Amino acid sequence: MKLKRKNVGAGILMVAFTVLFFILTGKFYLVASSQSAEGVDLIEYGKRKWLKSDVLDAKRGTMFDRNGEVVAQDIPSYSVIAILDKDYPNHIKDPEKAAEKLAKILDADKEELVELLSKEGRFQVELPAGRKVSYRKKEQIEDLKIPGIDFIRESRRYYPNQTFASHVIGYTGNGEEGVQSGLMGLEKSLDKYLKEKDGKITFLGDAFSRAIPSNKESIKPPKHGQDIYLTLDEKIQLYLDEAMGEAAKEFEPEKMTAIVADPKTGRILGMSSYPTFNPNKKEIDNYTNFAVSYPFEPGSTMKIFTLAAAIEEGVYNGNEQFQSGSYKLPNIGRPIYDHNRKGWGTISYDVGVQNSSNVAFSKLVREKLGYERFRNYISKFGLDQKTNVDIPNEKNGSILYNYEIEKVTTAFGQGSTITPIQQIQAATAIANGGTMMQPYVINKIIDPETKKTVLTREPKVAGKPISEATAKQVRDILETVVTDGTGKPYMIDGYRVAGKTGTAQIPGKDGKYISGWGENVFSFLGMAPKDDPKLLVYVAVERPKIEYPEMGYTPVANIFTSVMKSSLQYLNIQPEAKDNSSKATTHKSYGSELPDYTGQSVKQVKSELEKLGMHVSVIGSDDKIIKQEPYEGAYVIKGERVILQTSGDMKMPDMKDWSYMDILRISKLIGLKETITGSGFAVKQSIKAGNPVKKGDFLVVQLDPPKETEPNPDANEEEEQQNEEERTVTD
């Protein structure tokens, strides 16, 4: 009986295997015949069926400032997908419940999500509201533990300092196959260096693309983009952006531009144009980098180079007298007028420079220097050619030099047009002992994998238009412009500034100059410290909204003095000391000079500083001071903040109502990585007051402008000379 049962069981099993064999054989011949009819290789068909691949993401090159701070980088982002295939182990089981949870985090319509998550015949869907979400939002969604929700990891370009040098750096967009491409600025001009190329991993996998164990993988590694190190300085650029942002809010100009450069090397440390934009959002009204792509009549900053040419040729005598007011050229009906029309009587040429006399410079170029020699110096200073700065879309100005009136007006900055970057390059000769340096913004390019230098830039001499002695004499005279002439608003406590003001007319659509109060380009080109300039700053503001008697130079002076002073202090350029007292002393012109407080009692020093009208913040739990900000020798005025650090545990102070500069000071002192948004004074801080803080911590501070701005009843009225200057076409 048992044997019979065994035979029956064996027979059933044999029949089952026979049926299965014929089914598989039939399936094979069916596939073979159908695929053969289409001319398909079965081996290749099998590979396509089971051979899977994944993309290995490559990273676009990172841009750094000169100190290694990131200014543009790829960061991970995530797109939310939902798996709908019920045959897949992990899929959406309850669309209604899943949509309800996701709608809150993604700020999406619940009903639309329900409809999307309920689609039939789809393996997976991508949620439109879940494209390129941040890592933080990804974590929030993961915490919901919704079955069937997954993420596709991507990269997006991120600019951590928002509007930071946006016209210089530019932005990217998705190009071929989703790879980012530069669309503006350095992102575009350096695209061949920055662009990445994704890699690929190939493996045998099942129907759900899960790797089959113990099979060999084929890997094509990704090629990451190369890293760019710029000459820009994050701190100086932030000073510049902040100052221009404040001027934009208060004066609403049509255009602004500013450049900060190192005159010894030609390195560009900061460059801004307004209107600006945030490359993270790409809401752009102005695509022009005015610093390099916008030639305009410079106004009286041009007189710097006319003066230098006359001194170099030995035809300038600062003590020689001339009659100011107007100057009649032969065969030309309309005289050349000084900006106040009436002049200052008989004055010396030095006084003429201080008062920005058009007559003085007309006589210099026509009677002493000569038109041909002056034209040669225009070329020597590079004012008739591009600088070839490594920033895209540089334009060249136009030197009008056909008729005598054009030759004369070019001498004081009218008629001919030049760009701000051309003026910066020319001015390096004044600041750098006669040697003119080519401006540049790309320091080096590094391969991030091999660490090898792909490209490097060194300072390059662009010419030597004048001697060292001439450069010094020009700086000496330009200092008197600031101390005794039209440049008084540009004085900076503790530092000797040399520079020249400019007020230029703007041609209208009809070819005639626009008239009206404030309908000019107001500018200043200055350097400091005067005897050995470490910084060269140019600022131009076009058509600010001002009403008489408000002065057009006000926004320019606000930007220049703020950026120059902050940058000099940041670079530890010591102001001129007025005495060697161990205590903070008050000087009529320069404010209070801070001594070295290291090792002193914090209670005693805090008391002394508060008596001088300073705001004092203490970081640390002990009584002995180990660091201070500002540094020893810095000059501060009543109402400024001094931060003292002691040893012991550090706790974050309450920064409510702190200024932008105060926040930078505490960040520098402790070594924080700060991000400052908005403008005005601090209203929120990411590290709460009283919480422990240490070097390397991230600090985010939000600034808001004050709700009300009270008028200053003690503001001094400007001298009549300066009032007259702004009423005229050119200073």
**Per-residue pLDDT tens for 597-616?**
988 998 898 888 888 878 89
State what percent of residues in the chain have pLDDT above 90: 47
* DSSP assignment of 143-173: HT--TTEEEEEEEEEE-TTTTTTHHHH-EEE
Task: Average the pLDDT over each of 218-227, 467-476, 590-599, 707-716 and give the range with the smallest value.
Answer: 707-716
pLDDT at 52: 53
- Asked which of 410-424, 546-560, 661-675 is least confident by mean pLDDT, the reply is 661-675
Phi, psi (rounded to 5 degrees) for 34: -70, -45
User: What mean pLDDT do residues 173-186 have?
Assistant: 78
- Report the DSSP pairing between strands 442-446 and 453-456: antiparallel
Both tokens of 209, joined, read: 């693309």
Does the pLDDT of residue 177 top 80, yes or no? Answer: no
- pLDDT of 720 above 50: no
Q: What is the pLDDT of residue 235?
A: 93
The pLDDT of residue 288 is above 90: yes
* Radius of gyration of the chain, Cα coordinates, nearest whole angstrom: 34
Tell me the per-residue pLDDT of 609-655, one tens digit each, with 9 for 90 and over: 888 878 899 998 888 998 888 777 665 666 678 899 988 888 899 98
**Two structure tokens written together for 678:** 């908005």
Burial code (b: 16+ CB inside 10 Å, e: under 16) for 94-103 equals ebeebbebbb
Determine which of 176-180, 309-313, 725-729 has the lowest per-residue pLDDT on average. 725-729
Q: How confident is the model at residue 577 (pLDDT cuts 50, 70, 90)?
A: low
pLDDT one-digit tens code per residue, 43-98? 454 554 455 555 557 789 999 999 999 999 988 777 888 888 887 888 888 888 88
**Confidence band for 164, pLDDT divided at 50, 70 and 90:** very high
The pLDDT value recorded for residue 27 is 60
Peptide bond into 459 cis (omega under 30): no
Tell me how far apart the alpha carbons of residues 448 and 518 are, in angstroms, rounded to a whole number.
50
CA dist list (Å): 500 to 23, 136, 319: 95, 51, 20
- The answer to whether residue 206 scores a pLDDT higher than 80 is no
Contact 341, 282 (CB under 8 A): no
CA distances to 176, 341, 490, 616, 729 from 724, rounded to whole Å, are 59, 9, 18, 42, 10
Which residues are part of the catalytic machinery?
Answer: 300
Tokens representing residue 517 in the block: 């109060």
Q: What is the pLDDT of residue 569?
A: 92
pLDDT at 214 over 60: no
pTM of the model: 0.71
- Using CA atoms, how far apart are residues 121 and 84, in angstroms rounded to an integer? 8
**Helix axes 371-380 and 404-411, enclosed angle (nearest 10):** 50
pLDDT of residue 171: 94
Q: Residue 172 pLDDT more than 50?
A: yes
By CB atoms closer than 10 A (0-12, 13-18, 19+), residue 707 is exposed
